[in-house]
């Protein structure tokens, strides 16, 4: 499987303008952890049960996708680029 690429973009319209990209597994894993922590924080901070349910569903979707593309331990993926 091809690994993920992390891209920094300048916001412009719907897509943005790419500035830099990396395949560095440390950067990808850090990004993954930050994204998941932000969604967990949203769940904790909302008082609305419906909103919390939707956030939990999104968190589960993100965990599944990010774990697929950014595994925690996969020696074949470890590229320190």
Q: What are 7-45's pLDDT values in tens digits?
A: 999 999 888 999 999 999 999 999 999 999 999 999 999
- Which of 51 and 73 is assigned the larger pLDDT? 51
Residue 47 lies inside a defined structural domain of this protein = yes
CA pair distance 47, 12, nearest whole angstrom = 33
Residue 62 lies in a domain: yes
- Classify residue 70 as exposed, middle or buried by CB count within 10 Å of its CB (0-12, 13-18, 19+): buried
Structure tokens at 64: 């599944």
Predicted model pTM: 0.80
Q: Is residue 60 a part of any domain in this protein?
A: yes
Q: Is residue 77 part of a domain?
A: no
Closest CA to 28 of 59, 69, 63: 69
Number of domains in the chain: 1
pLDDT above 70 for 75? no
Cα(56)–Cα(40) distance, integer angstroms: 8
Please indicate, yes or no, if residue 76 is contained in any of the structural domains.
no
Question: Which one has a higher pLDDT value, 61 or 81?
Answer: 61
Q: Could you tell me the residue range of the domain that residue 51 belongs to?
A: 6-69
* pLDDT higher than 90, residue 78: no
């Amino acid at each position: 499987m091809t690994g993920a690429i992390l891209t920094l973009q300048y916001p412009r319209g719907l897509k943005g303008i790419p500035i830099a990209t990396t395949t560095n597994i440390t950067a990808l894993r850090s990004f993954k952890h930050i994204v998941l922590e932000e969604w967990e924080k949203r769940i904790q901070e909302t008082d609305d049960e419906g909103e919390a349910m939707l956030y939990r569903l999104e968190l589960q979707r993100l965990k599944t996708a990010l774990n697929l593309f950014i595994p925690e331990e996969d020696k074949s993926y470890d590229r320190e680029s």
